[in-house]
Amino acid sequence: MLQIYNTLSRTKEPFKPAQAGQVRMYVCGMTVYDFCHLGHARMLVSFDVVQRWLRASGLAVDYVRNITDIDDKIIRRAVETGRRIGEVTEFYIAAMHADEQALGVESPDREPRATQYVGEMLDIIGKLEQKGLAYQADDGDVNYAVRGFPGYGKLSGKTLDDLRAGERVAVGSAKRDPLDFVLWKSAKAEEPADTKWESPYGLGRPGWHIECSAMSKSLLGLPLDIHGGGPDLKFPHHENEIAQTEGAFGGALANIWMHCGPLMVDSDKMSKSLGNFRTIRQTIAQGDPTADEATYRVNLREAEMVRFFIVRNHYRSPQNYTPDNLVDAQNALDRLYQALQNVAADDQGIDWNEPQAQAFKAAMDDDFNSSGAVAALFELASEANRGKSARSAGQMKALASLLGLLQQDPAAYFQSPTRYSAAAIEQGQRAMLEADAIQSLIDARAAAKAARNFAEADRIRAELRDAGIELDDKPGGLTQWRRA
């Protein structure tokens, strides 16, 4: 049986959906004011693997991942650039979708935008006000009265006494308690007109936390089977979601809470606030990483490298980003593709009675342990190489598809240049050979061999090797090449 670590109970639990055979999963998505960074990639890929395995396990999944398209940061970006809110959000939504596609992240079943659910947010705020859990302050903001909800802190493990003003919660003089958080923000005169909605509390816009309470309840009902997100959302965002939803409707918001681990840079979490982030596009783009979607191009070998870098670690573990770690991931992924290039994979699907398939399944059923699943892929690669076994190669490719890996043509994969290999680093600033130039040298080598000028043939092979190109001579005179 599938076991999932529940952040709320702090233990692994057998997964039992509220309705047998069906899973209602809500994951907090992006606030679209900038390009996604590699920390976002970790969240996107981690929950993509989760939904893939749930479906592979025979469950019908309704996967909802929202978009926050109204927020202080979005407003600031619009004002800075002189664009309307909708222009800013549409640009970065398109960029996010392009990044997801490059990383092999499947689209969620539904992708609601916060601005589409303002009415539902106001309904929840009204219910909270009726129950004495919300109040309008003198500055016009509507706040949640945290001390009126006895369960506050159960997800994060924080008590109200632990939460001193000025640490994690900003002090507002109009609040009854400095720990109270905003449900509805009163509009300011200088703010753009397209950031204001009519409400019983005057012109304004929703607070961030109420958005997810409204979208998850409206689309999936209560309780959710799984609620997930990045590590920084546990507190205060998810804690506040619980307070709002359970305060308004009673019962549980979600049965299982899942949080992926952080992506670290020199012991600090990768984040835009710390300025230590690297965007997905800076890592996988061919050419200008800020290009619009009409001209944005992706290096698919490097994109799969990023996915593999994420998947080969357990989703809950902290993961350290360094260029060397990307190189290591690229070299490891190359070894799996080399097995597929050496041995043509059959396409008979997965034999779940086979030992490595059973090991793969046992790992994934143990809280989506993709690290253990990847280990099974390497065992199959070794088996395929040893015995030239098409069946082992086929098993490896079919199992890898459940992780979103190894679906490229091996020859095309290896002919794609990559910055993340030992050969590429050794080349330094040297120009990388283009495919046409490589083929010309291969043809010249074939001509030299035909003329029995083996010294020249060896010289050309060495020249290609120095440029990071490896040759594989096949029967019949065919020569395949790949970038190391």
Q: Which residues are annotated as a binding site for Zn(2+)?
A: 28, 212, 237, 241
Structure-token pair, residue 142: 């509507």
Structure-token pair, residue 398: 């079919």
Please give the full DSSP string across 127-184, using - where no structure is assigned: HHHHTTSEEE-TTS-EEE-GGG-TTTTTTTT--TTT--TTTSS---TTSSSTT-EEEE
Q: Of all helices (H) and strands (E), which one includes residue 376?
A: helix 370-387
Burial class (CB in 10 A: 0-12, 13-18, 19+), 178: middle
3-state secondary structure 199-237: CCCCCEEECHHHHHHHHHHHHHCCCEEEEEECHHHHHHH
Is the Cβ–Cβ distance between 189 and 202 less than 8 Å?
A: no
Residue ranges of the annotated binding site for ATP are 272
- Within 13 Å and on the Cβ side, how many CA atoms surround 43? 23
Please give the full DSSP string across 413-469, using - where no structure is assigned: HHHS--SSSHHHHHHTTSPPPPHHHHHHHHHHHHHHHHTT-HHHHHHHHHHHHHTTE
Residue ranges of the annotated binding site are 28, 212, 237, 241, 272
CA 424 vs CA 142, 211, 259, 325, 437: distances in Å: 56, 46, 35, 15, 17
Is the Cβ–Cβ distance between 426 and 381 less than 8 Å?
A: no
